[in-house]
Structure 1
Amino acid sequence: MFETLKNAWKIVDLRKKILFTLFILVIYRLGCAIPVPFIDPSVLQNMMGEDTVFGFLNAVSGGAFEDATVLALGVIPYINAQIIIQLLTIAIPALERLAKEGEDGRKKLNAITRYSTIGLAILQGFGYYLVLKNQKGALLYSTGVSGVLTAVTLVVIFTAGAMLAMWLGDQITDKGIGNGISFLIFANITARLPTEVSKFIKYLQFAQEGQTQYFFYVPLMIVVMVATIVMIIFMNNAERRISVQYAKRVVGRKMYGGQNTHIPIKVNMSGVLPIIFASSFLALPATIRMFVSPAPGSFWDQFFNAFSTRSLVYGIFYFLLIIAFNYFYVAVQYNPIEIANNLRKNNGGIPGIRPGKPTSDFIGRVVSRITFIGALFLGVVATLPIAIGGITNMSVSLTGTSLIIVVGVALETVKTLESQMMMRHYKGFLE
């Protein structure tokens, strides 16, 4: 990886792209440090538990959410809009036709996604304001004319920050290296590394003060994180290849086809999305508990305790939901019938499998098995740090979700640089 970066730096065009990407990341992190008026951030510290929606948003925003900065919402509205539009392309025929119209259709879908981002940013910004309003002392003005002015100001600033984050991400995608939105999330997560290192130092100080179990727990957590990174790298590169053979055909005096190729099916096709869906879903009980006060020992008190991140019930539901969401996302994105029809139209087929329904059934069985392996991988990666944290009683924010994002973006960036270097060093057919 470092050798790839070193070689890419020697190429002028790539060096400009790398510097442009870093420049955008610096601007984005500066926006994460500009405070919003009318808010007392110190009141928000108690709201950012790791098992709440706010804690999840805070981790993705790199701490900007709890600091109530301009980019508090970050790229979350844009990501939500992308997911919603992507799912609606399956349900709405008009959007499905746009998705199949090539570059023009993608431009129209991107425009629809941007407009949807504005609506979601306004909605989430207003929801953020309501949460702050319900917290005593969080807002300087919450009633009367001043309260209305505070609400409008906060919603406008949060919406503008979300649109700025979207624009910065698109600039990286167009003029920089890799996917811009992924890079912004990568920057947010890595910005919390000093905080995580300080936590490990604190636990080692506890060990020196007499809590000797941390001499064993800290290395154990580090080993688990390293093993998780190795597993993520292995599974991100793993794929199942289905052999495809194209029949020969004569057009005029030329013969076409006859080559052998394959259909690559990645083991982890859905990426980190199932973990994000499951985390958001299971964070709702803990978030609701912030606004109610159930009596100690009551049914609702026990119910909310059962969905704490340290409980066994939470771990089981988390694991099962990751598997369910993984199957759902792959079923939406991967259509075996369409693949089988495309193979038949191009005179292709899988050796030993008849065209048509047998081909689609075969592809469906392979995808189902691969999806199960990928779902187990995501479930283990997501729940293992939580389980170790529950055993050792260590609070570490850099969990499986964050590691998947960081490692995935790093690997994708290296592949992008390698492909662009290969294009620039390719001599062509005329020499």
Structure 2
Amino acid sequence: MTNEQFERLPKELLRRFLYTIILLLIVRTSIFIPIPGVDNLSFYRNLENNTVFNFVNDVVAGGAKTIGIGTFGISPYFNATLSVQAIIKLIPEWERLQKEEGELGRRILVQRTRYITLIWAFLQSCFLVYWIRPYVFNWNSSFMLDTVLTLTTGSMFVMWISELISEYGIGNGSSFLVMVNIVTGFSRTITISLQTSHLSGLKTKIIFSSILFVSMMLVSIFISEGKRKVKILSSRQLGTSSIVNSRSYLPLKLNAATIIPLVISSLLIALPSYIIERLSTPVIRNLLYIFIPGQPLYLLAYYALVVSLNAFYISLLVNPADIAENLTKLGVVIPGIRPGRQTNAYLTAILNRLGFISATLLCLIGIIPYAIDAIFKVPIFKGLSVTSLLIFVGVATEIAKQVRTYLLSQSYNVNIEKD
């Protein structure tokens, strides 16, 4: 962006950017404000080889190695959001609020999400306090209470900041916070990798690695933005012409399940390594050993988890029966497909195919960072998981769309004022 283009940006947009940056700095600072009474250095040294711990640490961009007031970040809010989505499918009253009550129902669900966030933050705080007990200088009930309250308050504070960013800043606040954590963690990984890598042929290795990384980015954009356009025909068009308007279509996202199946799969596939460290039974250890990274069944198990969880989560988020019913109410049909049950079956088949394709592509780009490390011996991108990349691409795309929409609306307002 040139200086002239920067100066042409509306003051309101610049104010939103500045407001967002200030809030992000506050949240990042809260992560590294340590809670007194914990030996953070011993805690990190004992757990730095723990697979589950490293996964969590990557998501919060190094915040897990320091038990601070903002250690959990936005994770309790994400857990609460997932819980609400599941409850909506299970409890008819909650589903009615989402579908029939409009803005009032949305506000009620948002408020309930906040309450559930508080519950999740409290439970996670209790678990963490129990987990760090060996690294606490003076373990007592007072320390437990103070730490639980501090961590819970920190999580609610981060949730409040994310809502402020959504309302007064740029993009979705919770997604923005996760993206910043990912970028911070990735920059740290690049620095460490360049310092530890061999200098011989490093330039060539980085060039080839960068090409593969760009390929990962392009596939991630395709997964995030790809959609299947199902042609539809309204009753008005049926009465006038049998030709299907190419602009009339029902968009079905390629990756309707977003990143949730990936996050859950990454955690589940990391559990065998964590359990092996704490088991002494040889039979179970040998059984779990074949599922750890680098072993034959690891990729197969990971692929099976992603595909199955992707299909399950799509079934929660997208209901073909509801879509078919709404099309019937609107007098809209899919050419060649009868309304009702046949439309439901047709949409279900499309969603299943899209889910399988997206899960396969996700697993494919998930292998690339490890292939770069294995072939070129440059572990620069190994710390960048598919989940992180999709979050980064999705949030960056969302912000770009929001800025473009805002600039277009401002230009329309200026033209109207001139007229």
Task: Find the residue that maps to 1:191 and give its secondary structure.
Answer: helix
Equivalent of 1:308 in 276, 280, 292: 292
Query: Which stretches of structure 1, 4 residues or more, deviate above 4 A after TM superposition?
Result: 5-9, 47-51, 214-220, 390-395, 427-431
Q: What pairs with 1:24-423 in structure 2 (closer than 5 Å)?
A: 24-49=23-48, 52-100=51-99, 101-133=101-133, 135=134, 138-142=135-139, 147-204=140-197, 206-208=198-200, 218-248=206-236, 261-290=248-277, 292=278, 294=280, 298-389=282-373, 395=379, 396-423=382-409
Residues 391, 122 of structure 1: CA spacing in aligned structure 2 closer, same or farther, 3 A cutoff?
farther
Aligned counterparts of 1:192 and 1:357: Cα–Cα separation in 2: 48
Identity %: 28
In the other structure, the counterpart of 1:253 is none
Contact 1:61 1:72 in 2 (8 A): yes
Residues 357, 9 of structure 1: CA spacing in aligned structure 2 closer, same or farther, 3 A cutoff?
farther
Q: How far has the Cα of 1:28 moved from its partner? A: 0.8
Residues 8, 45 of structure 1: CA spacing in aligned structure 2 closer, same or farther, 3 A cutoff?
farther
Code of the aligned partner of 1:140: F
Q: How far has the Cα of 1:185 moved from its partner? A: 0.5
Residues 165, 8 of structure 1: CA spacing in aligned structure 2 closer, same or farther, 3 A cutoff?
farther
Contact 2:230 2:251 in 1 (8 A): yes
Contact 1:275 1:322 in 2 (8 A): yes
Q: How big is the alpha-carbon RMSD for the aligned residues of Structure 1 and Structure 2? A: 2.6
More helix by share: 2
**Bigger CA drift: 95-104 or 307-316?**
307-316
Runs of at least 5 residues in structure 1 that lack an aligned partner in the other structure: 250-257
Residues 293, 357 of structure 1: CA spacing in aligned structure 2 closer, same or farther, 3 A cutoff?
closer
Aligned counterparts of 1:207 and 1:58: Cα–Cα separation in 2: 28
Q: Deviations over 1:171-219 (max 9, x none)?
A: 1111111110000001111112332222331243x344xxx7x676544
Contact 2:37 2:137 in 1 (8 A): yes
Q: Deviations over 1:89-127 (max 9, x none)?
A: 001111111112111111111111111111111111111
Code of the aligned partner of 1:302: N
Q: How far has the Cα of 1:155 moved from its partner? A: 1.0
Contact 1:282 1:318 in 2 (8 A): yes
Q: How far has the Cα of 1:363 moved from its partner? A: 1.5
Residues 47, 58 of structure 1: CA spacing in aligned structure 2 closer, same or farther, 3 A cutoff?
farther
Residues 140, 393 of structure 1: CA spacing in aligned structure 2 closer, same or farther, 3 A cutoff?
farther
Q: How many residues align?
A: 406
Residues 39, 289 of structure 1: CA spacing in aligned structure 2 closer, same or farther, 3 A cutoff?
farther
Aligned counterparts of 1:406 and 1:84: Cα–Cα separation in 2: 23
Aligned counterparts of 1:355 and 1:119: Cα–Cα separation in 2: 44
Contact 2:69 2:154 in 1 (8 A): yes
Q: Deviations over 1:262-291 (max 9, x none)?
A: 11111122221111010111222333345x
Aligned counterparts of 1:78 and 1:9: Cα–Cα separation in 2: 37
In the other structure, the counterpart of 1:255 is none
**Bigger CA drift: 421-430 or 114-123?**
421-430
Contact 2:20 2:169 in 1 (8 A): yes
Contact 1:337 1:360 in 2 (8 A): yes
Aligned counterparts of 2:306 and 2:28: Cα–Cα separation in 1: 31
Q: Deviations over 1:372-406 (max 9, x none)?
A: 11111112122332344456666531222211111
Aligned counterparts of 2:232 and 2:205: Cα–Cα separation in 1: 50
Aligned counterparts of 2:15 and 2:187: Cα–Cα separation in 1: 28
Residues 387, 126 of structure 1: CA spacing in aligned structure 2 closer, same or farther, 3 A cutoff?
farther
Contact 1:173 1:180 in 2 (8 A): yes
